[in-house]
Amino acid sequence: MYKYHCLNPIAKVGTDTFTGEYEETPEISQADVILVRSASMREMEWQEGTLAVARAGAGVNNIPCDVCAEKGIVVFNTPGANANGVKELVIAGMLLASRDIVGGIRWVEEKEGSGNIAKETEKAKKAFAGCELVGKKLGVIGLGAIGVLVANSGVHLGMEVYGYDPYVSVESAWKLSRNIHHTRSLEELFQDCDYISVHVPANEHTKGMIDANAIRQMKQGVVILNFSRDLLVKEEDMLEAMKEGKVRHYVTDFPTPMMAGAKGAIVIPHLGASTEEAEDNCAKMAVQELRSYLEHGNIKN
Ligand code: MLT
């Protein structure tokens, strides 16, 4: 009998396939296997004999992987399972940065009850005018499950798309996303693109990769999108660049204290994977991975 513990209620979806040999425990300290979404496991006490942790999502920063490696605890994630949900929010982020949809909606809300709204609409048209995505250059850094979807969506929106990923060969990247330009140089992508979207894992190599030096190489008025992890961007440098107008908007799915309310920042409360479909896919995949490991010894992802 294996005991499992769910740290986030959403990770429970899919545990109905835990039949027979599985039993839920309310105590993490008694669990053989742990299912987690975004809760941090760093300060938690788990039992010595924990066998595996499954993260219903892509990033594993909330799990102390080094400790798990030392103790022989297998850590799974669910790459790709929420990619579509994240991609759709990235596209929404690009649209929010190009058209002042939020400003326009707020303007209408403030006019509630005013009989003049139709007359005043002409003013709003001027105040909230934006620009189109068609013909603009989109740079996608990281061509994993999400990056490839974002790149292909950019193409469908009529954008000229550049992809950069040092770990993917040009041939295989080309197969994944035929209509994008593959570049081997991050500098080239920085210099050419109007929109830059980052889709790489956060680690010691990528931490702070979007800093003053990177931003200096970018176009005036660039829009930067970060739906990966806040650590990838040096936020002090980003604030400075937005003040100077070098960065028109920084669209981020990470509501850090520094970015909340900052002028030019469009901050979303980590909603990329918050769709019914993505939550279901991740939770089910996490359970499948645990079962496959416990019942057959398979280790994938
Ligand atoms: C991820 O890494 O995939 C996201 O953080 C998912 C989530 O919101 O749980």
- Where do the H-state alpha helices sit in 63-185? 65-71, 83-98, 101-110, 117-127, 145-156, 170-176
CA proximity to 237, closest of 253, 215, 221: 215
Cα separations in angstroms, 103 against 58, 223, 259, 281: 32, 17, 18, 34
Q: What is the pLDDT of residues 93-113, one digit of tens each?
A: 999 999 999 999 999 999 887
**Which residues line ligand 1 at a C-beta cut-off of 6 Å?**
37-38, 57-59, 82, 270, 273
Domain residue extents for the chain: 2-81+276-296, 83-267
Question: Are the CB atoms for 23 and 1 separated by under 8 Å?
Answer: yes
Averaged pLDDT, 244-262: 98
CA of 79 to the centre of ligand 1 (A): 10
Q: In whole numbers, what is the pLDDT of the chain averaged over residues?
A: 93
CA of 84 to the centre of ligand 1 (A): 12
CA dihedral defined by 74, 295, 277, 229, rounded to 10 degrees? Answer: 10
Please state the atom number of ligand 1 nearest to the C-alpha of residue 273. 8
Q: Over the stretch 68-87, which tens digit does the pLDDT of each residue have?
A: 999 999 999 999 999 999 99
Q: Report the range of poorest mean pLDDT among 91-100, 166-175, 200-209.
A: 166-175
Residues 117-139: tens digit of each pLDDT: 888 899 999 999 999 999 999 99
Token digits for 28?
A: 């993490």
Instruction: Say if pTM beats, i.e. exceeds, 0.90.
Output: yes
What's the mean pLDDT in 259-269? 97
Q: Regarding the domain delimited by 2-81+276-296, which CATH topology (the fold level of the hierarchy) does it fall under?
A: Rossmann fold (3.40.50)
CATH class for the region spanning 83-267: alpha beta
Are the CB atoms for 141 and 197 separated by under 8 Å? yes
What spacing in Å lies between the alpha carbon of 173 and ligand 1's midpoint? 24
Q: How far is the CA of 56 from the centre of ligand 1 (A)?
A: 7
- Assess whether the region 2-81+276-296 and the region 83-267 belong to the same CATH fold: yes
Distance CA 110, CA 115 (A): 12
Instruction: Tell which atom from ligand 1 comes closest to the C-alpha of 10.
Output: 9
What are the structure tokens assigned to 293, written together? 């490991």
Q: Is the ipTM of this complex over 0.90?
A: yes
Quickly state the pLDDT bin for 45 (edges 50, 70, 90). Answer: confident
β-sheet bridge partners, residue 162: 139, 181
